[in-house]
Structure 1
Amino acid sequence: MTKTKEVLKKNTMLIALAVVMVLFQVLISIAGKGSLFAPANITNLILQNSYVVILAVGMLMCILTGGNIDLSVGSIVALVGAIAGVMIVSNKMNVYLTILVCLVLGTLIGAWQGFWIAYVRIPAFIVTLAGMMLWRGVALIVLNGLTISPFPQEYLRYFSSFLPGDASNKGLILSVTLIVGAVLCAVYLAVQLIGRAKKLRKGYDVESQGMLWGRIVLICAVVMALSYLLGSNKGIPVVLILLGVIILAYSYYTQNTVPGRYLYAMGGNEKAAKLSGINTNRTLFFAYTNMGFLSAVAALVCIARFNSAAPSAGTNYEMDAIGACYIGGASAYGGTGTVSGAVIGAIFMGVLNNGMSILGIDANWQKVVKGIVLLAAVVFDVVSKKHSSKS
């Protein structure tokens, strides 16, 4: 019973996500408005929420350091997008050079804010609030208040195209996506079995074989179902590959590297971390520098999705990213949270938006629902922490 409770507690948001998806599917079917799991809708769900996933991963790094947040990410997205628009569309500059310049610019902006937060110790809220206004203003100046479009196909193919690319051959698209799904399942199976064998050799505690195989079967079923749905539409979005690389890289960094564990140590108790030899200033500086870098990546994805660079781009993106982290289990006090949890939170937000939009729910009521969900997630975190400390 204890293990079952532990598993349920560990996967609370995953279970909640599954319940919400089934609920929306039932409501949409009753309303006669199609299906939440329609192939085209699944593809749109990925494309619409790609920026949330990217920003949520970066925001998690900031939150882990002690509940800090970055309010400037939406404005950085607007500024980097504006620079890309001017370079590629207006000045016809090289696409690869522009991408490099944009990534460097985002990283430098993050480092600028990280310096004031980490070394001068100005509160992150104040620095990033100033950044939110500053970078939005610079974006408006760069674009002169105008929207730049369209972007050349040479650029769009890296962020808004699909694999294998031959849209006319539906059979090829489905075959390729199913093969990719099967390969991913095989790799996941091998990683899980090898990891379990290593733990057993070292004498570590491992989950029961029933739990292991149950998880493997469930995840592989989801992967194959997603592959089938994507293959039934246009194929694998290139941006999904980018998201996969980011999620895997940052999951490994936070869970399996020493600097990644420093983020958790600092969020747990900064003074103790400092006394144990961790350079907390450098850790905090990294978190915000990295946030600037990922904001630039999100900007490159967004301008490709909308095929334009607009001064209003990125509005409220910071709220989506923060909400995704907290809904995904990140603690409001820092030191707790995972990349996978932030991704689940982003998908949860995306499903809420998508499901309510299909049902034709008023945009104002959508904001009410999302606000209640975010508050509930934070309340759950605070109450569970108090309960744990008492017990």
Structure 2
Amino acid sequence: MTAVATPQQTKGPQQPSPVAGLKELVTRNMRTSGIYIAFVAIVALFAVLTGGLSLSPRNVTSLVLQYSYILILAIGMVIVIVAGHIDLSVGSVVALTGAIAAILVIQDGRPWWVGAVAALAVGLAIGAWQGFWVAYVGVPAFIVTLAGMLLFRGLTLIVLDNISLSPFGQPYTNVAGGFLNGLLGGNGFDAFTLIIAAIAVVGYAYSQLRARQGRIRYQQTVEAMPLFVVKILAVAAVVMWFAWQLAHERGLPIVLIILAVLIIAYSVVTTRTVFGRHVYAIGGNLAAAQLSGVKVKRVNFWIFVNMGFLAALAGVVFSSRSNGAQPAAGQMFELDAIAACFIGGASVSGGIGRVGGAMVGGLIMAVMSNGMSLMGVNQSWQSVVKGLVLLLAVAYDIYNKRRASAGR
């Protein structure tokens, strides 16, 4: 008997109804969807608890400046975690690279960019050092980076001779504290910030439309067009509101431009390059990746080189923000970066995680810390709350895996 094609088989990908599309949008990849919902809920909660103070232009600007270096670290950390590793040394690398910059700029009187370039070069060397031990010697990343945490902290104390160095002065401090303001406006309002935000929204909408068309072309399920439009409008509204707040304060922070470039670049690297696919392959199934011809050692080496570079960049940003270098700089930064990745949907066993998710996870930590500080909550209780949030995020990841295994 000859099989007869059903209408569903002949018409290609079907556009679900709005109700079915909403269900699909919520249930498909719930971990990623849930983190955005949680972020909006946390922002709304602290807006209410602080009487709107957390959403003021000044506080929104301070939030960007205070937590930018953690977000930079989270970009590199999520790649490390996706590959099935961990890096405990990034806080010490932040301290050491900031100390190198301080010695050159403050003590030796070198130009600001010499200090920044030297710090980045040291970060790359540190990444190569740790990548060698992990990739080619085979020492677990936990041990290598734990040793690195102690080693680079000790080197920081040696370089600074156990004293703090300050101030850097401008233009070094402009890296983390400078603004593009008054280019297209004045009197407390900067139109340039809004124009940049509008361009970013248009770019985001175009990329999402292209991605949707690609999924349709490969006969994959997509959300209904009304829901797709609502999603784009929601993102546009949040971005433009954020830009409006910045425009009414001091304009567009330079560090936000740096962060935006990094997010775009690493989102492309992790999702649309061979290197990114190999990282996910290694973290998802190491044996299968090796059998598929992935050069595991080389990929692991460059993962840590990249982490060293981003840790050094975070060191430059942090030292610029604090206008100096301190022996104790970077304490607990590695835990904040790791927490941002796990809260943002990265899996404890590797193979799962996105740069965008890590950014949202970092922002959740930032909003919670900032909101509790505005409320006058003691630092001890802030640590308790953040620890519980991290524990629940990892527990949710494990729950999802068990449910997926049971459904097979």
Q: Quote the Cα distance in structure 2 between the aligned partners of 1:281 and 1:183.
A: 40
Kindly indicate whether the alpha-carbon contact (under 8 Å) linking 1:162 and 1:236 is maintained by their aligned counterparts in 2: yes
Residue 52 (structure 1) aligned to one of 62, 65, 70? 70
Deviation at 1:346? 0.3
1:219-275 alpha-carbon deviations (Å, 9 max, x no partner): 110111011100111011100000001111111000111110111110111111101
Counterpart in the other structure of 1:122: 139
| Correspondence for 1:287 | 303
Q: Deviations over 1:170-201 (max 9, x none)?
A: 35x43222222222222223333344345545
1:270-305: CA deviation from partner (whole Å, max 9, x where unpaired): 111101100111111111111100000000000110
> What root-mean-square deviation, in Å, do the aligned CA atoms of Structure 1 and Structure 2 show?
1.7
Find the aligned partners of 1:201 and 1:23 in 2 and give their Cα distance.
41
Aligned residue for 2:175, secondary structure, equals coil
Q: Could you say which residue in structure 2 is the equivalent of 1:261?
A: 277
Tell me what 2:148 maps to: 131
Query: 1:118: Cα distance to partner?
Result: 0.9
Segments of 5+ residues of structure 1 without an aligned counterpart are none
CA–CA distance in structure 2, aligned partners of residues 8 and 387 of structure 1: 12
- Shift, 1:6, TM fit: 2.1
Shift of 1:203: 4.7
Residue 57 of structure 2 is matched in structure 1 by: 39
Residue identity over aligned pairs, in percent, reads 45
Q: Where do 1:1-391 residues align within 5 Å?
A: 1=20, 2-3=23-24, 4-6=26-28, 8-29=30-51, 35-66=53-84, 68-164=85-181, 169-171=186-188, 173-201=189-217, 203-391=219-407
- Residue 60 of structure 1 contacts residue 337 of structure 1 at CA under 8 Å; is this kept in 2? yes
Query: Could you give the per-residue CA deviations for residues 323-348 of structure 1, whole angstroms, max 9, x where no partner exists?
Result: 00000000000000000000000000
Matched AA of 1:128: T
Contact 1:329/1:342, CA 8 A, preserved across alignment? yes
Structure with the greater alpha carbon radius of gyration: 2
CA contact (8 A) 1:170 1:232 kept: no
Q: 1:167 to 1:175 in 2, by over 3 A?
A: closer
* Partners of 1:114 and 1:288 within 8 A in 2: yes
Q: Secondary structure of 1:288's match? A: helix
The answer to whether the Cα contact below 8 Å between 2:106 and 2:165 also exists between their aligned partners in 1 is yes
Measure how far apart 1:8 and its partner are. Answer: 4.9
Number of paired residues? 385
Q: TM-score, normalised by structure 2?
A: 0.91
Separation in 2 of the partners of 1:42 and 1:21?
11
2:35–2:360 contact (8 Å) kept in structure 1? yes
Could you tell me how far apart the structure 1 residues matched to 2:320 and 2:214 are? 43
Verify the 8 A CA contact 2:102 2:115 in the aligned structure 1.
Answer: no
CA distance in 2, matches of 1:8, 1:332: 17
Deviations 1:115-170 (A, max 9, x none): 11111111111111111111011111111111111112122223320012579933
Structure 2 alignment gaps of length 5 or more: 1-19
CA contact (8 A) 1:167 1:234 kept: no
Contact conserved, 2:184 with 2:192, CA < 8 A, in 1? no
Moved more, 148-157 or 221-230: 148-157
- Residue identity opposite 1:332 in structure 2: V
Partner SS for 2:191 = helix
What is the DSSP-based 3-state SS (H/G/I as helix, E as strand, rest coil) of the residue aligned with 1:135?
A: helix
> SS where residue 105 of structure 2 aligns?
helix
Give the 3 Å change call, closer, same or farther, for CA 333–201 of structure 1 in structure 2.
Answer: closer
Take 2:93 and 2:195, find their aligned partners in 1: how far apart are those partners? 38
1:155 is paired with a residue whose SS is: coil
